[in-house]
Structure 1
Amino acid sequence: MLLSGVVKGTAQDNSRLKVQLKKYNIKWTSQSQNSSESMPLGGGDIGCNVWVENGDLLFYISRTGTFDENNQFLKLGRVRVRMEPNIFKDPNWQFKQELKLYDGYVEIVAKKKIDSVQVALWIDVFNPVVNVEVNSSKKIKITAFYENWRSKDRLLPMNERSACFSYSGYEGDVITYSDSVMYHKNNVLWYHRNRSDKLLFDFCVEQQGLTEVKEELWNPQKNLTFGGALMGNGMAVGKTGKGQYVSSPFKCWSLQSEKARKQHHLQVVLHTAQTPSTEEWKEQLFSVKINETWKKTKQWWHRFWTRSHIFINVDKNDPSDSGWQVGRNYQLFRYMLGCNAYGDYPTKFNGGLFTYDPVFTKQGNTSLHGTPDYRSWGGGSHTAQNQRLVYWPMLKSGDFDMMPSQFDFYSRSLKNTELRTKVYWGHKGCSFTEHPETFGLPAAATWGFDSGPRTRPIETEPGTLYNPWVKLHYTNQLEFAYLILEYYKYSGKDISCYLPFVESALTFFFEHYKYRQRQRSGRFYDDNGKLVIYPSTACETFKEVKNPTDVSAALAAVISAIQRLPDSLMSGHKKQFWKTQARHIPEFNFELYKGDTILVAAKNLPKRINSDIPELYPVFPYGMYGVGRPRLDIPLNTWKSGLLDDRKNYISWHQDPIFCARMGLTEEARKFTELKLSDSGRRFPAFWGPGHDWVPDHNWGGSGMIALQDMLVQYVDDKVYMFPAWPKEWNVDFKLHGPHGLVLQAALVNGVAEELSVMSQRKNEKIIMMLGVKE
């Protein structure tokens, strides 16, 4: 079937979008019990957890890049706003708190007969400012408290060291150092400046034997200062005090209204920078623009929502309907990702900007009584297997402007990882491990310490990690390289600044495994002219393996994508070089099982230690098997063999619904996607987790988004497959993006496709409809 046309963008369509999104607004008519019942608010690169408890409005403040000496991801404090009289505490006033998606803000309203108080919280997308606007029908006073639980140095207990993952299991002292808080004119000013003699960077460099190249290494921790100021017109310095929220004692500094008013405007201005001195940092903080109009931020959110959407069963408007929940929670989670659209660092898979007091997370059978800064699996460390799932769905959602922060993570520290490769093995290429810190070196805990439960044996080869799960795990640098190339294919945006990383990621594998084979045999390749990728790992599941299928798929996919780049981005000479290198990639691993050909994770399969499914990585992320591609029977046989059953799952990073969608398994894709994207069981429906990770679990939400998108649309060469794994029982209205500027907008009503419109840079898109088409 061949269709072409123009995607609608009329005022009527935007009005319909606004109406549909309004159905997804989260509305609460009672106050929250604690921070776990908070609502996410964000913009630019700032996130706040907002809730009202015992009559007080509270919000935590997070911002990307606020990494302390230990590379712990510190919150910027908590703000408490109290009215006089305290209307929110009066049971005679009706209460409502609402997340208004279309405009991207939180509104809190109290009403009593003809009187009302309205509080709007919004974050400037273009400047790091949190705004709290209060409008009352009668004059009131307000007091704003800045609350800080880091008023003194704190020895981090062993069971909290996962928050700075490098020091997990480290037997020496680990200290979270205090912040500086003070009054500055009529503002509350606070900041954290990293101490120059306590940096994790220095610890890792010495631990990992890189002192000789230390001066060449990039250090993002040095002189890093982050913090902010609480301010407001008509506010004067108030009292200081002490208190305790949940498990954490705090000190507070307050601002008070000079007189009762009908309108109040509070602002929290933030700043993060590496500066030679705190004085220079302060100057920069107070030069931040704070009087920008709310209109610009609303317009940004409006444009964000017009890029793409998936609405399911909206005609029912039934929050108990599983399809409706999936569609609503897809939009909620995309909103949460949009809150860090422009961060210097990517959205963390283990909570993003929206973690809260850990005692309420209840991971396993335990409750952790740590500070609000705690999260499992680290703050600055970057778990690649999880992070990738947060960023893949942004291709089809068209959120291309949100992706560079993830790519920059690799390009900034590229030199550091190339240097470590050169020091340890004497060859070229970057060696990003599974858990790199912000500066690219492996997390210290994965390297191993001199003593304690994670002691590194003295005979361990320099450069090799002493950690059973991530030892020899470099594969995900290839997946991010592939994602960059897909980003170009979808967006057409310039990727020249990322191509050095892409080529370096490839170079490492070819150079490293030629180096290994030459050590063993004196030759670069095996008898067939192929690399011998050994010792290696198939994801985190099978260790010390030979020629893992996921690695072969990654190498082949990246080189194939390079061949499609224009000569303006990569010369024909370079593309030919990589094409020649591709001949040395080992073949995939197959075997016959009950008469059927199936994929196998590696040439040899030692005892597994995790539950990834590397056999199916040629399906996702690398797209070599699936709907519309040859030999779909092979991955289907693999999935249905029963050999994977004890590894199938849906929580956290498990990507089973994506596999099912890519193979056209409609019922299984639906089942797993419902488990992924149905309500979380917490007050905010998209606060999933903890699963394997933390709350909210962002790779849980990201993998669910990918699956739902792939159930609707898949792209194979020059063909577009619509509804390849979509249940007919779900009515849907969607708009999604594809390669070469493709934008698809369509609806499915009672199993029949209608309202299809297409915009593409190519003249005709070959649309293959896998459900009935309305005549």
Structure 2
Amino acid sequence: MLDDYNQVWNTQSSNSSESMPLGGGDIGMNVWVEKGDLYFYFSRSGTFDEHNTLLKLGRVKVTLTPNPFEGKEGFYQELKLKDGYVLVGQNDTKIKLWVDVFKPIIHVDLESKTSIKMTASYESWRYQNRYPKGKENNANSYKWAPQGELIMYKDSIAFENNGIKFYHRNRENTVFDVAVKQQKMESVKDQMLNPIANLTFGGFIKGDNLKPDGTYLGKYEDTDFKGFNLTSIKPSKKHALEIYLNTDQSDFSTWNNGLKNLISANKNTAKQAEKNTQKWWNNFWNRSFIFTQKNQSNAKDSVYQIGQNYQLFRYMLGCNAYGKYPTKFNGGLFTVDPVYTNKDLNFAPDFRNWGGGTMTAQNQRLVYFPMVKSGDFDMMKSQLDYYVSLQKNAELRSEVYWKHNGASFTEQLENFGLPNPAEYEWKRPADYDPGMEYNAWLEYEWDTVLEFCQMMLQQKEYAGEDIQKYNQFIISCLRFFDEHYQYLAKQRGRKALDGNGKLILFPGSGAETYKMANNANSTISALQVITESLLNLSGNQLSKEDSEYLKAFQTRIPPLNFGQIENHKVLLPAKTWERVNNSEVPQLYPVYPWGIYGVGKPDLETALNTWKYDPDALKFRSHIGWKQDNIFSARLGLTDEAAKYNTMKMANSERRFPAFWGPGFDWVPDHNWGGSGMIGMQEMLLQEADGKIYLFPAWPKEWNVHFKLHAKQNTTIEAELVNGELKVLKVIPEERKKDIINLLGKSEAEKTKLN
């Protein structure tokens, strides 16, 4: 079934926007054939420059003589999902492109029935300094507020040992230094993690039968570049091109030696590496899947499409399984020339909107939450460890600004743990709290880190993993709320708590939407769920002191807020708020991600009323980008609505590759669009409450599906639904079969009565 979802193209592409994603380990490529030449961009996790732009590593062009791609007939380009590679061919010539999952090496293997000559060219637009202007700085951390003229420094590129060496080494002064000064953190600067100082990244391109063959200048779309040719010494029926990559925060000679060692250690190992890589992808696909179909003609079948795009997007996530940094919500490793996303942005291919080293929590969580039910726990490490690595910097913020404990994480977070400098704002009132962002959208939004705490706890809840390394991090995040809101209350009056001994979470924020909020429900539900889960899952690993602290903190968390709309009890966004700034629906966060309400849980009706009657929830409803209506409706057991919003969200994108959605609110490909789509489909198929596993809680009876998903207590469920009948049900471990309740075809009223 997976093979049905392979993307097969029988015509060449007109430009880079019609490219196909390829990758593995922590490398992403965009592959396409244009005017008879094979091209690919290649990117890698963590290649941040001085200004925190996530730089591509370059573009490769492969030209063959005589050229098999010249005729119109017989061309094909296929993404082979099962084994994780791309095959391009025509006229007895085929080229296989694949990435080693375990080592940072890209392989291009050509086979032909006749001897042909190959020229592989490395094309770089960073052969000279570039001077980003205006909107172009949205790709870096300065965004709309660069301090003086910025220089995008050139890379070093040269022929060496019959190959091409290329690298970027960050200059001494970086945006880290600028932000630390701007945000008055100099007193602790030497204690802070700085991930972009001394960073060097790049690699080496070579092939056994290749030699340097001069350079040339050119222009692709809007960007000038310099090309460096490697040409075959003699025509051959076989050619192999290899690109070795290295990223290291060290001095240059250490980086250089690392690259040399990578090359020498991998002589004659490609065959075995290819086997290992294929095995990894085979296991990846066996771990989890959702195959769907409604009727037999795939082309027009919207249900087939959502299954296809679920698999294609999960494949793209798999391409950064082991990155040092999480997969970025705003394009991942697969962005291309920006003019194809917005015709007015004629910038270099490094461009993406919303920054390179800026990890926006509300967006990132949607990229990573689907990995829980797909069982991709190994892939979640880069996102979770990213936060843990910044714990010290976040605690230093609390110490420097407010002299209290706890890790203070903001919503728009740089990869060094401080707020984005542009969002922090340069033009601030002199007496404004230096720990605060002077920003209408982001002020007082500290609670988004708690969703990553949730993912840390789910590693144990679902996979039984040891999460001791996360316990102190989670406690520090909770402690921030406890100490900071007592600190703020004491600024206003004599008492630290309200008349009931509860924290006063004011000023707070209901996502980016309900601002200057008092006791936002999204924050309250997060604090309640995380504290309870931590005590349940890690209780026996915590010190007596930590355990007692958490139990006492639990008593200080305020209760959720309810209201009435047309005589229906509803969840409110907060006790009170002053203004509405965005279009998220945090009044439904107690449904998702916090799971206080849902199928099989108490008082489902209150959550359903909120979905049906809250005027903002109705006004903001949409399937685009990070919108979560497809998830809320599935969690509430609303089959028709879940079918509608998930079909719209996971429909083919407007681009040649069906899962390159966007830009939505962000960029192309929009990874929080795909991630929220995956979550919605999973929730339609499988939910849990109080040890019970609900099958098909919001799945239409007439949609055929074969899926394998993960549940709590190391459980996997594989089920096949054909023409409204459950044909296969495999539950591992077997004893959990008794916990399964099949809700296929059950009415909303029946689901409401489940608890």
| TM-score, normalisation: structure 2 | 0.96
- Give the residue type in structure 2 aligned to 1:85: P
Aligned counterpart, 2:135 = 159
Shift of 1:763: 5.7
Q: Deviations over 1:122-164 (max 9, x none)?
A: 0000000000000000000100000000111111111111101
Q: Deviations over 1:735-757 (max 9, x none)?
A: 10011100001111122222111
Check if 1:253 corresponds to 2:228: yes
Aligned counterpart, 1:13 = none
Q: Would the aligned equivalents of 1:195 and 1:223 in 2 still touch at CA under 8 Å?
A: yes
Aligned counterpart, 2:422 = 445
Q: Would the aligned equivalents of 1:218 and 1:439 in 2 still touch at CA under 8 Å?
A: yes
Taking the aligned partners of 1:660 and 1:131, their CA distance within structure 2 comes to 44
Q: Deviations over 1:318-352 (max 9, x none)?
A: 12100000000000000000000000000000000
Distance change (3 Å), C-alpha of 1:621 and 1:56: same
Aligned counterpart, 2:29 = 48
Distance change (3 Å), C-alpha of 1:634 and 1:120: same
Q: Would the aligned equivalents of 1:740 and 1:760 in 2 still touch at CA under 8 Å?
A: no
Taking the aligned partners of 2:238 and 2:294, their CA distance within structure 1 comes to 38
- Give the residue type in structure 1 aligned to 2:725: V
Q: Would the aligned equivalents of 1:718 and 1:765 in 2 still touch at CA under 8 Å?
A: no
Q: Which moved more, 1:458-467 or 1:306-315?
A: 306-315
- Give 1:32's match in structure 2, choosing from 13, 20, 24: 13
Percent of residue pairs identical = 48
Shift of 1:521: 1.7
Shift of 1:167: 3.6
- Give the residue type in structure 2 aligned to 1:224: L
Check if 1:149 corresponds to 2:125: yes
Aligned counterpart, 1:546 = 518
Taking the aligned partners of 1:348 and 1:698, their CA distance within structure 2 comes to 7
Taking the aligned partners of 1:250 and 1:333, their CA distance within structure 2 comes to 31
- Give the residue type in structure 2 aligned to 1:46: I
Aligned counterpart, 1:59 = 40
Shift of 1:583: 1.2
Taking the aligned partners of 1:569 and 1:28, their CA distance within structure 2 comes to 54
Aligned counterpart, 1:9 = none
Aligned counterpart, 2:749 = none
| Partner SS state of residue 41, structure 2 | strand
Distance change (3 Å), C-alpha of 1:138 and 1:394: same
| Partner SS state of residue 83, structure 1 | strand
Structure 1 residue runs of 5 or longer lacking an equivalent are 1-19, 450-454
Aligned counterpart, 1:223 = 198
Aligned counterpart, 2:696 = 723
Q: Would the aligned equivalents of 2:700 and 2:744 in 1 still touch at CA under 8 Å?
A: no
Shift of 1:487: 2.0
Q: What pairs up with 1:164-243 in 2 under 5 angstroms?
A: 164-196=140-172, 198-243=173-218
Aligned counterpart, 2:680 = 707
Taking the aligned partners of 1:636 and 1:701, their CA distance within structure 2 comes to 25
Check if 1:331 corresponds to 2:311: yes
- Give 2:460's match in structure 1, choosing from 488, 493, 497: 488
Structure 2 residue runs of 5 or longer lacking an equivalent are 747-755
Taking the aligned partners of 2:575 and 2:106, their CA distance within structure 1 comes to 54
Check if 1:688 corresponds to 2:668: no
Q: Deviations over 1:418-465 (max 9, x none)?
A: 00110000000111101111110111011111xxxxx22223211110
Shift of 1:166: 3.4
Aligned counterpart, 1:658 = 631
Aligned counterpart, 1:84 = 65
Q: Would the aligned equivalents of 1:680 and 1:689 in 2 still touch at CA under 8 Å?
A: yes
Aligned counterpart, 1:477 = 449
Aligned counterpart, 1:5 = none
Check if 1:71 corresponds to 2:52: yes
Q: What pairs up with 1:377-456 in 2 under 5 angstroms?
A: 377-449=354-426, 455-456=427-428
Taking the aligned partners of 1:231 and 1:531, their CA distance within structure 2 comes to 62
Q: Would the aligned equivalents of 2:143 and 2:355 in 1 still touch at CA under 8 Å?
A: no
Shift of 1:171: 4.8
- Give 2:255's match in structure 1, choosing from 281, 292, 301: 281
Q: Deviations over 1:671-702 (max 9, x none)?
A: 10011101002100000000100000000000
Q: Deviations over 1:617-647 (max 9, x none)?
A: 0000000001000100101111110512111
Check if 1:322 corresponds to 2:309: no
Taking the aligned partners of 2:182 and 2:235, their CA distance within structure 1 comes to 59
Aligned counterpart, 1:515 = 487
Check if 1:628 corresponds to 2:603: no
Q: How many residues align?
A: 739
Taking the aligned partners of 2:81 and 2:299, their CA distance within structure 1 comes to 17
Shift of 1:182: 0.4
Shift of 1:764: 5.6
Q: Would the aligned equivalents of 1:60 and 1:75 in 2 still touch at CA under 8 Å?
A: yes
Q: Would the aligned equivalents of 2:471 and 2:538 in 1 still touch at CA under 8 Å?
A: no
| Partner SS state of residue 286, structure 1 | helix
| TM-score, normalisation: structure 1 | 0.94
- Give the residue type in structure 1 aligned to 2:24: G
Distance change (3 Å), C-alpha of 1:165 and 1:391: same
Q: Would the aligned equivalents of 1:167 and 1:174 in 2 still touch at CA under 8 Å?
A: no
Taking the aligned partners of 1:675 and 1:430, their CA distance within structure 2 comes to 39
Aligned counterpart, 2:112 = 136
Taking the aligned partners of 1:663 and 1:280, their CA distance within structure 2 comes to 55
Taking the aligned partners of 1:628 and 1:763, their CA distance within structure 2 comes to 17
Q: Would the aligned equivalents of 1:150 and 1:179 in 2 still touch at CA under 8 Å?
A: yes
**Which fold has the larger relative contact order, with Cα–Cα distance below 8 Å and residues 6 or more apart in sequence?**
1
Q: Would the aligned equivalents of 2:17 and 2:336 in 1 still touch at CA under 8 Å?
A: yes
Shift of 1:652: 1.0
Q: Would the aligned equivalents of 2:295 and 2:301 in 1 still touch at CA under 8 Å?
A: no
- Give the residue type in structure 2 aligned to 1:194: N
Q: Which moved more, 1:57-66 or 1:512-521?
A: 512-521
Taking the aligned partners of 2:364 and 2:675, their CA distance within structure 1 comes to 9
Taking the aligned partners of 2:545 and 2:216, their CA distance within structure 1 comes to 68
Q: Which moved more, 1:379-388 or 1:478-487?
A: 478-487
- Give the residue type in structure 2 aligned to 1:272: T
Q: Deviations over 1:364-399 (max 9, x none)?
A: xx5210100000001101100000000000011011
Aligned counterpart, 2:282 = 302
Question: What's the C-alpha RMSD, in Å, of the aligned pairs?
Answer: 1.3
Q: Would the aligned equivalents of 2:29 and 2:43 in 1 still touch at CA under 8 Å?
A: yes
Aligned counterpart, 1:104 = 84
Q: Would the aligned equivalents of 1:473 and 1:537 in 2 still touch at CA under 8 Å?
A: yes
- Give the residue type in structure 1 aligned to 2:239: H
Q: Would the aligned equivalents of 2:693 and 2:741 in 1 still touch at CA under 8 Å?
A: yes
Check if 1:734 corresponds to 2:707: yes
Distance change (3 Å), C-alpha of 1:761 and 1:515: farther
Shift of 1:603: 1.2
Q: What pairs up with 1:520-539 in 2 under 5 angstroms?
A: 520-539=492-511
Shift of 1:175: 1.6
Aligned counterpart, 1:460 = 432
Aligned counterpart, 1:369 = 346
- Give the residue type in structure 1 aligned to 2:606: I
Check if 1:645 corresponds to 2:625: no
| Partner SS state of residue 403, structure 1 | helix
- Give the residue type in structure 1 aligned to 2:164: V
Check if 1:746 corresponds to 2:686: no
